[in-house]
Chains A and B, each alone.
Chain A
Amino acid sequence: MTLVRALVIAGAIALGTFLGAAVDPQSLPFIGTERISAVFLLDGQAYFGHLEDTPLSGTIVLRDVYYLNDASKITTDLPVGLLKRGNELHQPVDVMYIRRDKVLAIERVTPGSPIGLAIAAQRSLDRTAK
């Protein structure tokens, strides 16, 4: 009986250690800053938004999606412009399912990056408009 208890405790410690190494504390709910992810696809397109990556699912889910657009012919400071997904001709709802096998990389967007700042500014403008 004592051996079983010891094994259970050891197993719990091992599992905790494993999960502790795998889980980013910043990604836990109620703490940390907003988590915006950049999803780079194999075809070169990149999307930014809130990522829901459920294990064992063939797709990942992005919400509140933004993407970059060529602005080389427009007089902006940078040759790209940020667009919010939803204004296309089919006006998609605010969720995007991406096949997992088409994803090249997933990275976290820094809040102070140009993308992070532009998204934050868009949120402020949206709140002002309401």
Chain B
Amino acid sequence: MGTIRIALAALAALVALALIFAIGAVAHANEPIATANPAQLTAQKAAVERDVERSYEQAFEQVRKVRALNLAITAAQADQIAAKAVADLHALRHSAFQSLGQVMGMAPAEAETYSTATETRFDASPVASASASPAPVLLAPRFYAVVSRMSELATLIADQATTALTAPPPSASPSPSIAPSATPRPSASPSPTRP
């Protein structure tokens, strides 16, 4: 009889322990998880658009300023380098807005349309010329990744263009000549001078 009581008590203790763990697991599984409402997501999206555009404008401005300098290379070469950098920056910005659209859950075609429309909007009213600066927003990690990559690549393109634009002009490399050029040698005997 005593053994049965002990066994029952141990079983009750085990059941109580299992119940505690089960309640803990259920409580953990039902813990509230906050998600952003549409207005908060819109604010984040607008901040990403601004940040991407700001990267583009800063890199574009750097290329434009360097191109405006008196460069050692020819004007045609400088124009070609600057035009390529600007085209790369355009493509990069387009790609960044497309990525943003896809992160927001848009289909590829929709993201393409969104990207073009956003570019047009910012071409009409650049961020640099905006008078009121909106409240700063801390980006969600997935948004931050888009901006970070855009900023990194835009800086890279602008720096490469700057290096190419400010490089010295290509000149014919001096080839070593076997025969020394004829230089007037001082004569050992003094030249006769007239009195």
Contacts and interface: CB of A to CB of B under 8 A. Distances in A.
Interface stretch (B3-11, B85-93, B134-142, B167-175): B134-142
Nearest to A85: B141
Interface stretch (A1-9, A12-20, A90-98, A108-116): A108-116
Interface of B: 27-28, 30-36, 40-41, 44, 47, 50-52, 54-55, 58, 103-105, 136-144, 147-148, 151-152, 155
Interface stretch (A39-47, A73-81, A99-107): A73-81
A55 interface: no
A125 B45 CA distance: 11
Given A77-B47, A128-B105, A82 B139 contact: yes
B140 A71 contact: no
Contacts of A127: 35
B147 A129 contact: no
B51 A125 contact: no
B40 A121 contact: yes
A20 to B, nearest CB: 19
19 contacts: A29-B27, A29-B30, A50-B31, A73-B151, A74-B55, A74-B147, A75-B58, A77-B47, A78-B136, A81-B138, A84-B141, A117-B36, A117-B138, A119-B140, A122-B142, A123-B34, A125-B142, A127-B35, A129-B105
